[in-house]
C-alpha cells in the first residue's frame, strides 16, 4: 500500500460517486431517486436517478467522496491520484451504445439531445434509434490512477411524442383539436398540407407548412383557407375557389419524432358562413311561363325576378303570397292561389355543402334589347369533395 500523507489519498480506495442528480431548466421536468438500480441489473448500491425530461438539454450533477477524509466534494476535482470521469451511453436494455471520447474533471456534464439523437442514429441506424423509445442510460464512471472505479447512473426518459385528432370544426378555415397521452413531451408539431393523401417526407411538395409550439398547448390548431385562382388560370376573372387538401401532422419530441398523423380530405368554404343571412326576407316576385300553342306543352323555361317589398309591410316577418295563373286563348281563365306562411313539403333534409362562393364586381346577367337577356362568359364550379372530414386515417 502506498500512502502519501500530504495529499490525503489512499490509492487502494477510489473516489466513489455518492449521489447523482438532474439539473432542470423546465419546471415540468421531474426526477425519481426511489427506484433501486437492481431493477435494471445494476449493483444494488449504485446511485440511480430517473428523469422525465421536457427540455432539449441533459444536465447532470453528482457528488463524490474523497478517500481517507470521506469528505463529500463536487466541482472541479484536482486531487492527486484522480484520473477523471468517463461517460458511457447504454440503451434501455443496458446494451452499450457509445463512449464519450473525452473524460471530464468536473462533477457536472451537459449535452444537447439533438446531438445525442444524431449520434445514436449513426451508431444504431434508423430502426435501432427508433427502438430506443426516447429512453437511454448515461453512466458516469469515476476513475483514479489505480483504476479504481465507481459508477453513478442516470436513466433519461424523453418520452414518445404522440398525438391524435379528437375533433375539428370547418368553416372558411379549419380548427383541429388534438389529444396526447403526454403533451409536455412534444416540443413542436409540424403541419403540412397537400392535395393528395400520400406524404412520405418533409421534403415532399406541399401547399403550405407551419410549425406549432408544443409544451402542452395542443387545444387546437387553426389552418387558414387555401385558394386556387382558377378563373385567372383559365384566362379570365379574378376569383378564387377553395382547394381541397389533406393535413399531415408530425409531432416532435425533445429527442425523437412521433408517428405522423393524416387527416381525411378537407374542403373549406370560400366564404365565411357568418356573413350569410340566416334567411331571405322582404322579397316578392313572379314566374312567367308560356304554353306552346302547337303541342300544348308548357314551356318550363322560366325567368324569375325579385324586388324588395316596399311600404309599411317591409319590416314585417309575416307575408301573404298571391299566385295568379292566367290562360291565353279564347277562355282566358284565371286561377288565383293564396297562401300564408307557406311551408315547404317533401324535403327530407337540407345539408351544408362544400360551398364554393363566387364574388364579382360586375353583373353576370344584364338586359339585351327590350326583352332579351345576355350574360358574360363565366364558369360555375361544382364539386362533390366532402366539406367535413368523415374518416381519419
pLDDT in tens, 253-274: 999 888 888 888 887 776 665 6
**pLDDT value, residue 341:** 42
- Cα separations in angstroms, 102 against 105, 121, 233: 10, 20, 62
d(CA 216, CA 187): 9
Domains of the chain: 3-157 (2.60.40.10), 164-270 (2.60.40.10), 283-375 (no CATH)
**pLDDT value, residue 289:** 52
d(CA 47, CA 28): 23
Question: What is the sign, positive or negative, of the torsion defined by CA atoms of 213, 214, 215, 220?
Answer: positive
Question: What is the sign, positive or negative, of the torsion defined by CA atoms of 163, 164, 167, 170?
Answer: positive
> Which one-letter DSSP state was computed for residue 260?
-
Q: Determine phi and psi for 377, rounding to 5 degrees.
A: -60, 130
d(CA 265, CA 168): 12
**pLDDT value, residue 304:** 37
Winning range, highest mean pLDDT, from 143-147, 235-239, 263-267: 143-147
| Span 308-315, average pLDDT | 48
Query: Which residues lie across from 149 on neighbouring strands?
Result: 143
| Span 224-241, average pLDDT | 57
pTM of the model: 0.64
Does residue 55 contact residue 110 with C-beta atoms inside 8 Å?
A: no
Q: What is the DSSP string of 72-106?
A: EE-SB---TTEEEEEEEEEETT--EEEE-SS-BSB
Helix (H/G/I), strand (E/B), else coil: 253 = coil
**pLDDT value, residue 355:** 38
Amino acid at each position: 500500500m502506498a500512502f502519501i500523507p500530504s495529499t490525503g489519498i489512499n490509492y487502494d480506495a477510489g473516489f466513489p460517486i455518492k449521489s447523482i442528480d438532474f439539473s432542470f431548466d423546465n419546471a415540468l421536468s421531474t426526477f425519481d431517486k426511489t427506484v433501486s438500480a437492481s431493477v435494471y441489473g445494476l449493483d444494488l448500491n449504485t446511485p440511480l436517478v430517473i428523469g422525465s425530461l421536457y427540455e432539449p438539454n441533459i444536465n447532470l450533477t453528482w457528488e463524490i467522496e474523497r478517500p481517507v477524509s470521506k469528505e463529500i466534494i463536487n466541482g472541479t476535482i484536482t486531487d492527486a491520484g484522480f484520473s477523471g470521469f468517463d461517460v458511457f451511453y447504454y440503451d434501455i436494455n443496458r446494451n452499450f451504445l457509445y463512449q464519450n471520447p473525452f473524460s471530464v474533471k468536473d462533477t457536472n456534464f451537459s449535452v444537447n439531445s439533438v446531438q445525442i439523437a444524431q449520434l445514436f442514429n449513426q451508431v444504431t441506424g434508423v430502426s435501432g434509434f427508433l427502438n430506443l423509445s426516447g429512453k437511454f442510460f448515461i453512466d458516469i464512471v469515476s476513475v483514479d490512477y489505480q483504476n479504481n472505479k465507481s459508477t453513478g447512473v442516470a436513466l433519461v426518459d424523453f418520452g414518445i411524442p404522440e398525438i391524435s385528432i379528437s375533433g375539428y370544426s370547418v368553416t372558411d378555415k379549419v380548427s383541429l383539436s388534438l389529444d396526447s397521452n403526454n403533451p409536455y413531451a412534444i416540443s413542436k408539431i409540424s403541419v403540412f398540407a397537400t392535395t393528395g393523401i400520400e406524404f412520405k417526407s418533409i421534403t415532399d411538395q406541399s401547399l403550405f407548412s407551419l410549425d406549432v409550439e408544443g409544451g402542452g398547448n395542443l387545444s387546437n390548431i387553426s389552418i387558414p383557407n387555401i385558394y386556387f385562382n382558377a378563373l385567372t388560370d383559365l384566362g379570365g376573372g379574378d376569383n378564387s375557389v377553395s382547394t381541397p387538401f389533406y393535413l399531415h401532422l408530425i409531432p416532435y419530441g425533445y429527442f425523437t419524432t412521433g408517428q405522423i398523423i393524416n387527416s381525411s380530405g378537407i374542403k373549406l368554404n370560400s366564404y365565411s358562413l357568418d356573413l350569410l343571412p340566416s334567411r331571405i326576407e322582404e322579397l316578392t316576385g313572379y314566374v312567367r311561363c308560356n304554353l306552346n300553342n302547337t303541342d300544348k306543352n308548357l314551356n318550363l323555361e322560366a325567368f324569375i325576378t325579385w324586388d324588395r317589398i316596399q311600404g309599411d309591410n317591409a319590416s314585417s316577418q309575416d307575408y301573404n303570397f298571391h299566385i295568379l295563373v292566367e290562360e291565353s286563348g279564347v277562355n282566358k281563365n284565371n286561377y288565383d292561389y293564396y297562401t300564408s306562411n307557406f311551408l315547404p313539403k317533401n324535403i327530407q333534409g337540407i345539408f351544408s355543402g362544400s360551398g364554393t362562393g363566387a364574388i364579382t364586381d360586375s353583373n353576370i346577367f344584364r338586359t339585351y334589347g327590350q326583352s332579351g337577356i345576355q350574360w358574360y362568359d363565366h364558369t360555375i364550379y361544382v364539386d362533390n369533395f366532402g366539406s367535413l372530414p368523415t374518416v381519419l386515417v
